[in-house]
């Protein structure tokens, strides 16, 4: 950090540094005094030369833009943003009111253990802030709700800070990161896929309340199928426990639809709504050898498709046709050699064409029936590989963001007359096809799983 940002130095001839709130890999947050107004402010600085990911600068600027729109007593007011150029660097600054008090994280670590009634009162106040944010068009989603970002003052109430969704920008300042923003343990599962909606902040609030009730990070509590098993660790009535469980549902569609609904249920103004049943997945026989491994937390999908062999009618018909064609071809070659037939140039052409078609069919049969296919995908890359008898003969890799859709498409061949349906992943520059000879039910299953996985990422 430049010397001008050291304690007692003055920034932009206006803000005198008093101390440090937090420091990270790319920036630092100070307590400063505004020499014009005399009030203390939070002065966040981002140093250009320390930025290795330009997403950090984008999030920093977005925080300033969002804060400038907000006017709520529980959100520290945006005051100014500017940049200072030096001979060696450029520093971006964001100025806002300094939230008085200490974070809920420090509150608990200092030995204070709030009871269930106090926690419910805090939940109501935070939900009121979220209702305000979600009333914007489009709604404002905080994405990093956690004890460190909620400041409590005994007399002045609750304050919500850190609106850039840059991890710990207020108390621990700007850190290197990616498009996945938030803090492990408090992040909703969909955030690992780079996605957020109205219920995302509800999950962050739910995990924050768990921390207040248990004194532990939610990451330390046991989980079952991504669901936090918190009941044995809290002392709360059943109604509040049921409400909290709904806030902590791993699937976003199974939580409350908005902060307004969550607040109404917490206050007893409306009953706990029934859960929305997730869409039923297509049924697949337990005998299917295809395996699909979805890691929702990491946003990763792996599909293993073993050789089809003769499992489907299409594969059996293709095998019969290939063997018949190959048999006729062998018989013709035997006749030509044995009988020493001399073919005319025209007959040589047709015989050569017959051989070429036979070889194409044999190659297509081997690759279609005996290849093993593996698909690996995450938020960044999509990769398809195929092996025949242990030797990889195809590897396709491209950016997941380039995929436009996954669908079943028709593959027209000279024979049979009816076209084949094939799994197809479309990207902007190309089409990737696989699974032509799989049973129809398995092809539909694969496409639905791929489509659901791809929809979990922002466009």
Residue 178 above 50 pLDDT? Answer: no
Q: Which helix (H) or strand (E) holds 371?
A: strand 371-377
184 plus 312 within the same structural domain: no
459 plus 310 within the same structural domain: yes
Reference 146, options 202, 199, 207, 192; nearest CA is: 207
Residue 4 above 70 pLDDT? Answer: no
pLDDT at 170: 35
From residue 105, alpha-carbon distances to 73, 111, 215, 301, 323 in Å are: 21, 10, 9, 35, 72
Mean pLDDT of 358-374: 76
Band (168; pLDDT cuts 50, 70, 90): very low
Q: Dump pLDDT digits (tens) for 210-233.
A: 999 999 999 999 988 789 999 999
65 plus 111 within the same structural domain: no
Judge whether 362 lies within some domain. yes
Measured CA to CA, the distance from residue 226 to residue 248 in angstroms comes to 10
Mean pLDDT of 27-35: 88
pLDDT at 136: 87
114 plus 91 within the same structural domain: no
Judge whether 29 lies within some domain. yes
Residue 459 above 60 pLDDT? Answer: no
203 plus 63 within the same structural domain: no
Handedness of CA 423, 278, 182, 133 (dihedral sign): positive
Q: Dump pLDDT digits (tens) for 292-330.
A: 888 766 778 899 999 887 777 766 776 777 778 777 777
Q: What tokens appear for 344 in the block?
A: 């005319």
Judge whether 373 lies within some domain. yes
7 plus 69 within the same structural domain: yes
pLDDT at 34: 94
Judge whether 413 lies within some domain. yes
Query: Containing domain of residue 91, as a range?
Result: 3-97
DSSP state of 283: P
The tokens 């706990």 sit on which residue? 272
Q: Dump pLDDT digits (tens) for 80-125.
A: 999 998 878 888 999 999 999 999 999 999 988 899 999 999 999 9
Would you name the residues annotated as active-site residues?
Answer: 144
Measured CA to CA, the distance from residue 138 to residue 75 in angstroms comes to 18
Residue where a domain terminates, one of 97, 116, 147: 97
Mean pLDDT of 411-432: 75
Cis previous bond, 138, omega within 30? yes
114 plus 56 within the same structural domain: no
Binding site annotation covers 287? Answer: no
Measured CA to CA, the distance from residue 162 to residue 173 in angstroms comes to 9
Measured CA to CA, the distance from residue 353 to residue 341 in angstroms comes to 18
Q: How many helices (H) and strands (E) does the chain have?
A: 9, 19
194 plus 114 within the same structural domain: yes
The DSSP code sequence of 219-279 is: GGS-EETTEE--GGG----HHHHHHHHHHT-SSGGGS-SSHHHHHHHHTTSSPPPPPPPPP
Number of domains in the chain: 3
Residue where a domain terminates, one of 97, 123, 142: 97
pLDDT at 375: 93
Mean pLDDT of 170-177: 34
295 plus 373 within the same structural domain: yes
With left for phi above 0 and alpha for psi between -120 and 50, is residue 168 left, alpha or beta?
A: left
Q: What tokens appear for 455 in the block?
A: 């929809």
122 plus 257 within the same structural domain: yes
CB 384 within 8 A of CB 374: yes
- Find the CATH number of the domain harbouring 210: 1.10.510.10
Residue where a domain terminates, one of 73, 97, 121: 97
Mean pLDDT of the chain: 82
Judge whether 275 lies within some domain. no
**What angle separates helix 116-134 from helix 259-266, to the nearest 10 degrees?**
150
Mean pLDDT of 118-142: 93
Q: What is the pTM of this model?
A: 0.60
């Amino acid at each position: 950090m430049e010397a001008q940002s050291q304690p007692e130095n003055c920034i932009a001839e206006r803000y005198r540094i008093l101390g440090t709130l937090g420091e990270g890999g790319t920036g630092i947050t100070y307590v400063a005094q505004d020499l014009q107004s005399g009030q203390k402010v939070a002065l966040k600085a981002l140093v250009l030369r320390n930025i290795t990911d330009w997403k950090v600068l984008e999030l920093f600027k977005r925080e300033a833009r969002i804060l400038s729109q907000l006017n709520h007593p529980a959100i520290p007011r945006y005051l100014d943003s500017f940049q200072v150029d030096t001979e060696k660097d450029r520093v971006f600054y964001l100025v806002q009111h300094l939230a008085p008090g200490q974070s809920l994280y420090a509150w608990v670590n200092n030995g204070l253990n709030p009871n269930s009634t106090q926690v419910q009162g805090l939940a109501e106040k935070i939900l009121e802030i979220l209702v305000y944010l979600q009333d914007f068009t489009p709604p404002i989603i905080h994405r990093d709700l956690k004890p460190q970002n909620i400041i409590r003052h005994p007399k002045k109430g609750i304050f919500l800070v850190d609106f850039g969704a840059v991890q710990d920008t207020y108390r621990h300042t700007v850190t290197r990161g990616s498009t996945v923003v938030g803090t492990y343990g408090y992040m909703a599962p969909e955030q690992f896929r780079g996605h957020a909606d109205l219920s995302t902040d509800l999950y962050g609030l739910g995990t924050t309340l768990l921390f207040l009730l248990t004194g532990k990070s939610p990451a330390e509590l046991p989980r079952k199928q991504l669901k936090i098993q918190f009941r044995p660790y809290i002392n709360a009535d059943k109604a509040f426990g049921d409400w909290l469980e709904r806030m902590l549902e791993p699937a976003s569609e199974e939580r409350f639809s908005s902060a307004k609904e969550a607040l109404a249920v917490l206050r007893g103004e409306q009953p706990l709504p029934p859960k929305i049943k997730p869409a039923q997945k297509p049924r697949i026989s337990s005998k299917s050898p295809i395996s699909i491994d979805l890691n929702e937390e990491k946003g990763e999908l792996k599909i293993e498709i073993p050789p089809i062999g003769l499992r489907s009618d299409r594969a059996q018909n293709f095998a019969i046709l290939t063997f018949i064609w190959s048999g006729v071809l062998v018989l013709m070659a035997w006749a030509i050699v044995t009988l020493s037939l001399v073919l005319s140039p025209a007959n040589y052409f047709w015989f050569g064409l017959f051989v070429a078609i036979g070889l194409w069919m044999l190659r297509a049969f081997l690759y279609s029936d005996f290849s093993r296919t593996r698909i690996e995908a995450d938020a960044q890359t999509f990769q398809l590989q195929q092996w025949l008898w242990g030797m990889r003969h195809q590897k396709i890799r491209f950016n997941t963001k380039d995929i436009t859709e996954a669908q079943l498409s028709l593959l027209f061949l000279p024979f049979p007359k009816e076209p084949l349906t094939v799994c197809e992943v479309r990207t902007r520059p190309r089409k990737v096809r696989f699974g032509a000879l799989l049973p129809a039910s398995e092809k539909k299953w694969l496409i639905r799983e791929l489509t659901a996985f791809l929809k979990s990422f922002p466009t």
